[in-house]
């Protein structure tokens, strides 16, 4: 069968790497892809937010499944678009319908959903311009620091954590006045959770689910978790502090009620679901849902899957995921992200990347890269994810770091302390 993967980052290179290795797969197309996905299959120059052009391509190229990498097309309803048209309906889409994607697309929706189904999360209230005065009053009654979240998608920038009441009130005003556009028309104010973060993932067909390995991602650009937030500077899986007992709590208190809740709401959720968690003492709380795999978490989670991922995805489409097998390696996988100097602020693109072919013992997943003739050049902030297996974290990190030194491009930067706190 032919598969079309939508997206262009390290996550999509990882998905295409794994899917292209399936015996069930004839050809993989990636839209728009990057220089790494071009090794696994054929890149297609499509605007993935133009659903008609995606669907027409799928029809013309005998695509048997569309796998959606990023959240934007899901929140905008790509799956509903396929279902709503006789011509495209028979092509299964992995990724939730619009209503399911609201778990990521609207923080207010996600919080209300969690409240309704008794899923542990920070206490909260939502406000808009009309309720600004009660929002200030609510903030005054809260302990510091104050957590303000724009309701909608804000490219990972919509969460503010502030120590000062006056600053929090000012920022709230700015958010409600359009600092994040329409995404901030509603603001969720919630209790600050003190603990350690990790992510857990499932793949679900709407009824059954498979628990994927957990991962920890390093969001801050600077060592010791300092500086600005990024998309992620590295990741490890498994996470040593997520022991069996803790993961059972995650499953019982969070995953099962979420899958049941979606079903109760009549939302047919088919795809990946990402639980961003805070471990507070020994108890898990949901910080956020994402309706896709994480990036760079995908670059450590997917390589740990020993089973045929394509077969699992076929189970998602067919509603018989319970009949499929998911085997996970006990090995650790780590990834270290090489980024463009200046990221997540301004940075230059178009820098030639050298020595990828000299990197051995790691899998080099490409993110912000593109081919120019026979050269590979940088085309984004996050450039390459260097993923490595090891019997333990140190062995894996050693390989990732050795290759992080070997690969070169002007302005290369990476954190040297991935896994430092574990
Ligand atoms: P979100 O986009 O909701 O994941 O928030 C971005 C980041 O802000 C999270 O990864 C956490 O590090 C932090 N964060 C969000 N909500 C809270 C909270 N209630 N308590 C503590 N930290 C939070
Ligand atoms: N690495 C965080 C995310 O994918 O949202």
Domain hosting 170: range is: 123-190
- Helix (H) or strand (E) holding 236, with range, is strand 234-237
Average pLDDT, rounded, for the chain:
96
- Using the 8-state DSSP alphabet, how is residue 25 labeled? -
154 and 86, same structural domain?
no
Judge whether 41 lies within some domain.
Answer: yes
DSSP states along 59-125: HHTTEEEEEE-SSHHHHTTHHHHHHT-TTTTTS-EES--HHHHHHHH-HHHHHHHHHHTT--B--EE
Spatial distance between the Cα atoms of 363 and 359, rounded to a whole number of angstroms = 8
Q: Ligand 1 pocket, 122 CB below 6 A?
A: yes
Backbone φ, ψ for residue 230 (5° rounding) = -125, -175
DSSP states along 189-201: EEPPPPSEEEEEE
Judge whether 113 lies within some domain.
Answer: no
> How many domains does the structure of the chain reveal?
2
CB-CB neighbours of 140 under 10 Å:
11
Cis geometry, peptide bond prior to residue 279 (ω within 30 degrees of 0): no
86 and 27, same structural domain?
yes
Q: What is the CATH number of the domain that holds 155?
A: 3.30.1490.20
69 and 152, same structural domain?
no
Residue closest by Cα to atom 11 of ligand 1: 287
Chain-centre distance for alpha carbon 118: 24
Enter the tokens of residue 3.
């598969």
82 and 8, same structural domain?
yes
Ligand 1 mutation target, pool 288, 344, 421, most atoms within 8 A of CB:
288
Q: Ligand 1 pocket, 93 CB below 6 A?
A: no
Spatial distance between the Cα atoms of 86 and 185, rounded to a whole number of angstroms = 36
Spatial distance between the Cα atoms of 320 and 208, rounded to a whole number of angstroms = 8
89 and 128, same structural domain?
no
Among candidate residues 96, 131, 158, the one where a domain is terminated:
96
Q: Is the dihedral of CA 114, 117, 118, 123 positive or negative?
A: positive
Judge whether 31 lies within some domain.
Answer: yes
Judge whether 149 lies within some domain.
Answer: yes
Among candidate residues 190, 212, 231, the one where a domain is terminated:
190
Judge whether 7 lies within some domain.
Answer: yes
Ordered per-residue pLDDT tens for the chain, 422 residues: 999 999 999 999 999 999 999 999 999 999 999 999 999 999 999 999 999 999 999 999 999 999 999 999 999 999 999 999 999 999 999 999 999 999 999 999 999 999 999 999 999 999 998 988 999 999 999 999 999 999 999 877 889 999 999 999 999 999 998 888 889 889 999 999 999 999 999 999 999 999 999 999 999 999 999 999 899 999 999 999 999 999 999 999 999 999 999 999 999 999 999 999 999 999 999 999 999 999 999 999 999 999 999 999 999 999 999 999 999 999 999 999 999 999 999 999 999 999 999 999 999 999 999 999 999 999 999 999 999 999 999 999 999 999 999 999 999 999 999 998 88
Judge whether 159 lies within some domain.
Answer: yes
160 and 74, same structural domain?
no
Residue closest by Cα to atom 7 of ligand 1: 159
**CB distance 355 to 327 below 8 Å:** no
Residue 235 Cα to ligand 2 midpoint, Å, equals 10
pTM assigned to the model: 0.96
Residue 296 Cα to ligand 2 midpoint, Å, equals 7
Chain-centre distance for alpha carbon 155: 12
Closest to 236 in 3D by CA, of 281, 299, 290: 299
Q: What is the CATH number of the domain that holds 83?
A: 3.40.50.20
Judge whether 154 lies within some domain.
Answer: yes
Q: Ligand 1 pocket, 251 CB below 6 A?
A: no
pLDDT > 70 fraction of the chain, expressed in percent and rounded:
100
Among candidate residues 173, 190, 207, the one where a domain is terminated:
190
Judge whether 75 lies within some domain.
Answer: yes
pLDDT in tens, 31-80: 999 999 999 999 999 999 999 999 999 999 999 999 999 999 999 999 99
Enter the tokens of residue 130.
């009309």
């Amino acid at each position: 069968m032919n598969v079309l993967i939508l997206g262009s980052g390290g996550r999509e290179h990882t998905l295409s790497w794994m899917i292209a290795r399936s015996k069930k797969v004839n050809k993989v197309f990636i839209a728009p892809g990057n220089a790494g996905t071009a090794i696994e299959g054929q890149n297609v120059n499509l605007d993935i937010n133009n659903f008609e052009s995606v669907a027409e391509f799928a029809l013309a190229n005998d695509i048997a499944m569309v796998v959606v990498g990023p959240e934007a097309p899901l929140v905008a309803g790509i799956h509903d678009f396929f279902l709503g048209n006789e011509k495209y309906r028979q092509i299964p889409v992995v990724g939730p319908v619009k209503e399911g994607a609201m778990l990521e697309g609207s923080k207010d929706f996600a919080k209300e959903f969690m409240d309704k189904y008794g899923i542990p999360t920070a206490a909260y209230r939502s406000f808009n311009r009309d309720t600004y005065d009660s929002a200030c009053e609510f903030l005054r009654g809260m302990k510091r620091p104050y957590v303000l979240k724009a309701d909608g998608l804000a490219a990972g920038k919509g969460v503010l954590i502030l120590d000062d009441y006056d600053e929090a009130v000012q920022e709230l005003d700015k958010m409600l006045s359009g600092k994040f556009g329409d995404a901030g028309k509603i603001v969720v104010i919630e209790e600050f959770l003190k603990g350690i973060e990790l992510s857990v993932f499932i793949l679900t067909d709407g009824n059954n689910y498979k628990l994927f390995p957990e991962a920890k991602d390093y969001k801050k650009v600077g060592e010791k978790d300092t500086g600005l937030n990024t998309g992620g500077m590295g990741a490890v899986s498994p996470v040593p502090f997520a022991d069996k007992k803790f993961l059972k709590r995650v499953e019982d208190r969070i995953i099962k009620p979420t899958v049941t809740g979606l079903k109760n709401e009549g939302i047919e959720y088919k795809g990946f679901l990402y639980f961003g968690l805070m471990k507070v003492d020994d108890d898990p709380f949901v910080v956020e849902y994402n309706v896709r795999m994480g990036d760079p978490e995908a670059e450590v989670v997917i390589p740990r899957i020993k089973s045929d991922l394509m077969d699992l995805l076929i189970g998602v489409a067919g509603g018989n995921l319970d009949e499929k097998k998911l085997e996970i390696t006990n090995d650790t996988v780590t990834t270290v992200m090489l980024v463009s100097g200046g990221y997540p602020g301004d940075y230059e693109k178009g820098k030639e990347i050298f020595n990828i072919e000299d990197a051995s013992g790691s899998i080099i997943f490409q993110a912000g890269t593109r081919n120019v003739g026979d050269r590979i050049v940088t085309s984004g902030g996050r450039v390459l994810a260097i993923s490595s297996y090891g019997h333990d974290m140190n062995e894996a990190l050693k390989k990732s770091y050795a290759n992080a030194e070997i690969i070169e491009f002007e302005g290369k930067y990476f954190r040297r302390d991935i896994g430092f706190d574990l």
